[in-house]
């Protein structure tokens, strides 16, 4: 709490944290829950990078399964990415379609990003007014044809508009001119890694920084893989550019040296890089140069993922991990001497703050009573059959992780399969 561990009694009223009292002097209450000696209370995580895919690709993932997986992983708020569903969230009409489908299905709270694509510049303001948390765009082929990417000039115009709206522009930062399809070599991971070099990320991030600087707009770089971009981001922030950056549990967990050929369950874009790069990402997190960690939960069907002996050129890129982000990051943090309070900052408070959800992601008076009963020292082996997302494929299958979510509360109510989640809109509570 406030970035530290404390012994405390948390009083909840009407779904919000009403009082924080001394542990030995709990406030009077109709009902009391006492944690076990091996448990700690965390604020519910805020995962601002989740692809739900419903409607349109509901066989990949849907609102019921994605939010059930989130709750099982200690995540009480997700913000849905605008692509991979059909329609993508690029107009208010499309946003309403998604909200109508989600309503009545979600067990945690769900917000929506809008999409910035070619030819929808005039839709950004109405989407902003309709309550999206910002806009996601791609600077290269997104992988799905209904969500086009922005060339530099179109990106400049979109960034001008989001700056005018004071909306956050969220960018998939890889530059397609650096992508080398000829390096792909079937099942070999080394070929896939070589096809998406660090330079692709670094050039695209340079463009994002240039546009944020020129417009005074707010930008956020999603799923940073290359630690080589960190000095550039740090320097831009030091001169006042409003940019933030996230990385993901898989970049902090795996390394290219240990990814077997054909292991397409570990294919994502940008790719997982070498162990030395992973350690540099951890150092950047610890130094505050990387702001937050969110899942980029991006599932698909098992056949598209081509698990086991897959071709890296053909397999879908994306790692489904909304349920495993907390134990994965906590496992790595613990091994490196980082604290659970830091993990909570990276995965709950910082993402909530960056997208304007100041009443989420913290144990503080007035915040929503979204809470997690967590056993930080218990270990488990990932069994895909126990994961709640739709398709039982996981890059983490068989992996030993530390930290077990034993219960989750949303606004003070235990989360079960009852759809008590709300659809969130920016600026409204
Ligand atoms: Zn994504």
> What confidence tens digit (pLDDT) does each residue in 220-279 have?
999 999 999 999 999 999 999 999 999 999 999 999 999 999 999 999 999 999 999 999
Q: Residue 249 domain-assigned?
A: yes
The alpha carbon of 8 and the centre of ligand 1 are apart by a number of angstroms equal to: 37
3-state secondary structure of 337: coil
Q: Averaged over 400-419, what is the pLDDT?
A: 98
Q: Residue 387 domain-assigned?
A: yes
The alpha carbon of 350 and the centre of ligand 1 are apart by a number of angstroms equal to: 18
Per-residue pLDDT band at 2 (split at 50, 70, 90): low
Q: Say what the pLDDT of residue 387 is.
A: 93
The alpha carbon of 116 and the centre of ligand 1 are apart by a number of angstroms equal to: 14
403 closest CA partner among 79, 48, 72: 72
**Could you give the CA distance from residue 294 to residue 347 in angstroms, rounded to a whole number?**
6
**CATH number of the structural domain spanning residue 387:** 3.20.20.140
What percentage of the chain exceeds 90 in pLDDT? 94
Q: Say what the pLDDT of residue 244 is.
A: 98
Q: Residue 115 domain-assigned?
A: yes
The alpha carbon of 136 and the centre of ligand 1 are apart by a number of angstroms equal to: 9
Q: Residue 153 domain-assigned?
A: yes
Q: What is the DSSP string of 57-76?
A: STTT--HHHHHHHHHHTTEE
Report whether pLDDT(397) > 80: yes
Q: What is the DSSP string of 124-176?
A: HHHHHHTT---EEEESS--SSTTSPPPPHHHHHHHHHHHHHHTPEEEEE---G
Q: Bridge-partner residues for 78, per DSSP?
A: 47, 110
153: Cβ contacts below 8 Å, ≥ 6 apart: none
The alpha carbon of 319 and the centre of ligand 1 are apart by a number of angstroms equal to: 9
Report how far apart the first and last C-alpha atoms of the chain are (Å, whole number): 22
Alpha carbon 219 to chain centroid distance? 16
**Could you give the CA distance from residue 342 to residue 157 in angstroms, rounded to a whole number?**
37
The alpha carbon of 173 and the centre of ligand 1 are apart by a number of angstroms equal to: 11
Q: Residue 254 domain-assigned?
A: yes
The alpha carbon of 82 and the centre of ligand 1 are apart by a number of angstroms equal to: 9
CB atoms within 10 A of CB 6: 12
The alpha carbon of 381 and the centre of ligand 1 are apart by a number of angstroms equal to: 26
Structural domain span for residue 13: 8-414
Average pLDDT, rounded, for the chain = 96
> What confidence tens digit (pLDDT) does each residue in 327-343 have?
999 999 999 999 999 99
Q: Say what the pLDDT of residue 403 is.
A: 98
Q: Say what the pLDDT of residue 368 is.
A: 98
Q: Bridge-partner residues for 405, per DSSP?
A: 374
Report whether pLDDT(305) > 90: no
Q: Say what the pLDDT of residue 303 is.
A: 84
The alpha carbon of 393 and the centre of ligand 1 are apart by a number of angstroms equal to: 17
Domains of the chain: total? 1
Q: Residue 423 domain-assigned?
A: no
> What confidence tens digit (pLDDT) does each residue in 173-192 have?
999 999 999 999 899 999 99
> What confidence tens digit (pLDDT) does each residue in 107-153 have?
999 999 999 999 999 999 999 999 999 999 999 999 999 999 999 99
Q: Say what the pLDDT of residue 1 is.
A: 61
Q: Residue 428 domain-assigned?
A: no
Q: Bridge-partner residues for 22, per DSSP?
A: 8
Q: Residue 425 domain-assigned?
A: no
């Amino acid at each position: 709490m406030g970035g530290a561990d404390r012994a405390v009694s948390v009083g909840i009223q009407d779904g919000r944290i009403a009082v924080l009292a001394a542990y030995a002097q709990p406030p009077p209450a109709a009902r009391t829950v006492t944690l076990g000696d091996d448990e700690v209370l965390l604020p519910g995580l805020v995962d601002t990078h989740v692809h739900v895919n419903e409607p349109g690709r509901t066989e990949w993932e849907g609102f019921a399964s994605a939010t059930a997986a989130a709750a099982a992983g200690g995540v009480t708020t997700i913000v849905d990415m605008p692509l991979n569903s059909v329609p993508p969230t690029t107009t208010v009409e499309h946003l309403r379609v998604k909200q109508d489908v989600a309503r009545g299905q979600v067990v945690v709270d769900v917000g929506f990003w809008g999409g910035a694509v070619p030819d929808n510049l005039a839709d950004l303001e109405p989407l902003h007014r309709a309550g999206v948390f910002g806009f996601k765009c791609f600077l290269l082929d997104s992988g799905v044809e209904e969500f086009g990417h922005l060339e530099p000039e179109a990106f400049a115009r979109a960034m001008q508009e989001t700056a005018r709206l004071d909306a956050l522009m969220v960018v998939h930062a890889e530059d397609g001119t650096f992508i080398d399809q000829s390096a792909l070599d079937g099942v070999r991971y080394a070929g896939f890694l070589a096809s998406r070099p660090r330079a692709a990320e670094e050039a695209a991030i340079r463009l994002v920084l240039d546009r944020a600087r020129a417009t005074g707009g707010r930008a956020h770089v999603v799923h940073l893989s290359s630690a080589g971009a960190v000095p550039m981001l740090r320097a831009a922030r030091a001169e006042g550019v409003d940019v933030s950056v996230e990385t993901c549990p898989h970049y902090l967990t795996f390394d290219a040296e240990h990814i077997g050929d054909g292991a397409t369950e570990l294919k994502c874009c940008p790719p997982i890089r070498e162990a030395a790069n992973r350690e540099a990402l951890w150092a950047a997190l610890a130094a505050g140069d990387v702001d937050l960690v969110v899942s980029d939960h991006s599932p698909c069907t098992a056949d598209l993922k081509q698990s086991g002996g897959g071709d890296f050129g053909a397999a879908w890129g994306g790692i489904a991990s909304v349920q495993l982000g907390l134990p994965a990051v906590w496992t790595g943090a613990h091994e490196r001497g980082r604290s659970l309070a830091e993990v909570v900052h990276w995965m709950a408070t910082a993402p909530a703050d960056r997208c304007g959800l100041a009443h989420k992601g913290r144990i503080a008076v007035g915040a929503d009573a979204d809470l997690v009963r967590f056993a930080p020292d218990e270990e488990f082996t990932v069994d895909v059959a126990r994961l709640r997302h739709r398709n039982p494929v996981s890059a983490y299958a068989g992996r030993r992780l530390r930290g077990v979510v034993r219960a989750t509360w949303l606004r003070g109510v235990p989360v079960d399969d009852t759809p008590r989640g709300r659809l969130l809109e920016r600026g409204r509570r």
